[in-house]
Structure 1
């Protein structure tokens, strides 16, 4: 049984994680928040106080931390007596924080695949380049490490496993559909870290088709879907984290990820990209200053956390699964709908942050109770997923299943 949570990161997702940890601190124990900016950590703590989110009265402490410093991170884990570390900082930190957890015995959770600053869209399966190299060490040291336990990746991995275990005898395809039908009212902004956001779309689009990796360009392949509560949207084939683990762990020949984009986003993205402003490679100005164009664009764009107050509308994210059951063709859409306004009312964050921030806290609760404290490294689809989905139903991210005209709660 593990207690006490250290949250690393202080953006919009970290704010949701902190609120949700506070709501279940009777199970999770003491909470600490660490980031390069201690002021951002204190802002989150103030938000928790305003919303009266703490289930049990306790002090939440803020710390300044450079999480690339393994020794400093390990020392903070020990000082706070944290047995569970939730990494919701930038994806560049994964390996450093994981190493600190392996040195201290703390359980490790993250919400995205590791990235190297000088590499975009690595050779698949991407997890094999970084995280999976430490599987044997985690097992030998009995370190629980749960990878990619946000929404996508994370909840959609659980949806895929649920489909395979309960609803299908054979799955022919899983198409993960991600639609944000909300509006933030800004001329242009990204819903999460602009640097990570753009890096997803400037490299090769990898998908798993006919039991092999297929490459495409961004915005090359599209489809239209009419989804529950958000209506019809155009989605584009996009490379994404969960494909890199689901293709290994599930016997499914076709796994693809699709995301909706408006024409305005695509136009601005293409202009920035064509001008070289989304490059991760440094350039020198006439004054001799070295600048990374992508980091400059990130600095200019709105902080995603600042979008929350004015965000309106809904998200719909789920898995369209096709296959066979009892010898007959079957098609299901397993999904969640979240509201930006409701997310802000509860956590001072927008819906994208909410969908990413609730799942790692559900996972932390399962580690605290022992159900997911496996003493090794796993992706979500390798774990018992039904307890996870039950907790998400309780915590604000209910799962539904649409089959033809029937639209019902998954556990109904």
Structure 2
């Protein structure tokens, strides 16, 4: 059993995580939040207190921290007696925060893969370039490190594991589909850190097809699906974190990630990219000032947190899984629908941040209770999926499934029964 949580970051995902942690401080204990800009953390704490989100009286404290400073992070972990650290800050921080956890013994959770600010779209598998190099040390020291515990990556990994271990006898393909059918009313903005957002789309699109890595260009391949609630949507093949772990951990020949983009987003993105304004490499102006074009674009775009009050509409994120079940080719869609206005009413955040922040706290709760305190490094699909998905439904993110029998709410008992039946039959075979 572990308690006391340190949340690193003060952006949209960290904000949702902080609200949800406060709502479950009877299990999680002290809630400490740290970021480079103390005023942002103090405003976050004030918002939580204003909404009376703490389940019971307890510690809710703000701290100033440069999380790239490993020694400072270690000192804060020890000073706050934090046994669980949620890295909800920039993906550039992963290795520094992980090192602090390895040296202090605190459990580590993040919501996205590590990135080197000087590199874009490295060779796959991306986790193998950074995080997985610390697997042996995690296991040797008994440190729990859960990677990619947002929604995608995160919940979609659990959906994939659920399909592979509790539904199908053989999985042939997993297509992860992410659609934001909402509107923020701005001319152009990104739903999370623009720097991280754009870096996803300026490099090679890597997917796992026919058991090998396949390269495409962004916006080169698309598909159209009729999806629950959000209707007919066109999505584009995109490189994404979860493909890199699922391809290694599940025996599935085709794993792809698809994201929805409107024509306006594609047009603006294309212009910015064509002009070189999305480059992460520094340039020198005529005045002799060195700037990074991508950071300049980030500076002039709206802060993603500021979008929340005006956001309307819904998001769809799910896994479309095809394979063989009981000797018959079958299809299963397992998905979540989130509402921007409902997310704002509860956590002062939009649904994009909500869908990433809630799962991270679900992971923290499962560590605190011992169910996911695995004392090693693990991606979400390597951990029991049913407790995670079931808990998510109880704390804000419900799951639905659609197959030949129709569309219905996720029922943990149905999947447990199916898994037991499947295992029994496979043992008999």
| TM-score of the aligned structures, taking structure 2 as reference length | 0.95
2:156 corresponding residue in structure 1 = 156
The corresponding residue for 1:86 is 86
CA distance in 1, matches of 2:29, 2:136: 29
Residues in 2 aligned to 1:36 and 1:410: alpha-carbon distance in whole angstroms:
40
1:391 matched residue in structure 2: 391
Of stretches 399-408 and 359-368 in structure 1, the one that deviates more from structure 2 is 399-408
Report the count of equivalent residues. 412
* CA deviation map 1:182-213 (0-9, x unaligned): 00000000000000000000000000000000
3-state DSSP class of the match of 1:82? coil
SS at match of 2:200: helix
2: distance between equivalents of 1:165 and 1:409?
19
Q: Matches of 1:169 and 1:50 in 2, distance apart?
A: 50
1:165 Cα offset (Å): 1.1
* Alignment partner, residue 240 of structure 2: 240
Encode CA deviations 1:65-88: one digit per residue, 9 max, x unaligned: 000000000000001100000001
In structure 1, distance between residues paired with 2:239 and 2:377: 23
Equivalent residue for 1:171?
171
Q: How high is the TM-score relative to the length of structure 1?
A: 0.99
SS at match of 2:49: helix
Structure 2 distance, partners of 1:44, 1:231, is 35
Give the whole-Å Cα distance in 2 for the aligned partners of 1:405 and 1:322.
15
Q: What SS does the aligned partner of 2:242 have?
A: helix
- Which residue pairs with 1:255 in the alignment? 255
Distance 1:149 1:204 in 2: 24
Deviation string for 1:221-264 (max 9, x for gaps)? 00111111001111000000000000000010000000000000
Note the C-alpha offset of 1:404.
Answer: 4.0
Q: Specify the alignment match of 2:280 in structure 1.
A: 280
After superposition, what is the alpha-carbon deviation per residue over 1:348-389, rounded to whole angstroms, capped at 9, x for unaligned? 000000000000100000000011111100000000111111
Instruction: State the Cα deviation string for residues 272-305 of structure 1 (Å, max 9, x = none).
Output: 0000000000000011110000000000000000
Task: Measure how far apart 1:46 and its partner are.
Answer: 1.1
Alpha-carbon distance, 1:326 to partner: 0.6
Partner Cα distance (1:50, 1:60) in 2: 13
**1:192 counterpart = 2:205:** no
Cα drift, residue 59 of structure 1? 3.0
What CA distance in whole angstroms lies between the structure 2 residues aligned with 1:79 and 1:66?
Answer: 16
Partner residue of 2:303? 303
Partner of 1:37: 37
**How is 1:66-85 mapped onto 2 (pairs within 5 angstroms)?**
66-85=66-85
Match of 2:62 in 1: 62
Stretches of 4+ aligned residues off by more than 4 angstroms: none
Which residue of 1 is the match for residue 400 of structure 2?
400
Counterpart CA distance in 2 for 1:243 and 1:357 is 20
Once the 2 structures are TM-superposed, how far is the Cα of residue 398 of structure 1 from its aligned partner? 0.6
> 1-side partners of 2:273 and 2:405: how far apart?
42
User: Map of 1:308-319 to 2, 5 A cutoff?
Assistant: 308-319=308-319
Distance 1:400 1:373 in 2: 27
CA distance in 2, matches of 1:219, 1:157: 24
Deviation of the 1:50 alpha carbon: 1.7
Partners of 2:325 and 2:159 in 1: CA distance = 17
1:49, CA displacement in angstroms?
1.1
Alpha-carbon distance between aligned partners in 2 of 1:346 and 1:105, rounded to the nearest angstrom? 33
CA distance in 2, matches of 1:404, 1:350: 33
2:425 maps to which residue?
Answer: none
Partner SS state of residue 116, structure 2? coil
SS in 1 for 2:86: strand
Which residue pairs with 1:104 in the alignment? 104
Query: Residue 201 of structure 1: SS of its match in structure 2?
Result: coil
Q: Which residue of 2 aligns with 1:377?
A: 377
**2:294 counterpart residue number:** 294
- What is the alpha-carbon root mean square deviation over aligned residues? 0.7
Mapping of residues 310-389 of structure 1, within 5 Å: 310-389=310-389
Give the whole-Å Cα distance in 1 for the aligned partners of 2:180 and 2:17. Answer: 20
Structure 1 portions without partners, runs of 5+: none
> Relative to structure 1, is the Cα distance of residues 372 and 153 closer, same or farther in structure 2, using a 3 angstrom cutoff?
same
For 2:213 and 2:351, locate their aligned partners in 1 and report how far apart those are by CA, in whole Å.
32
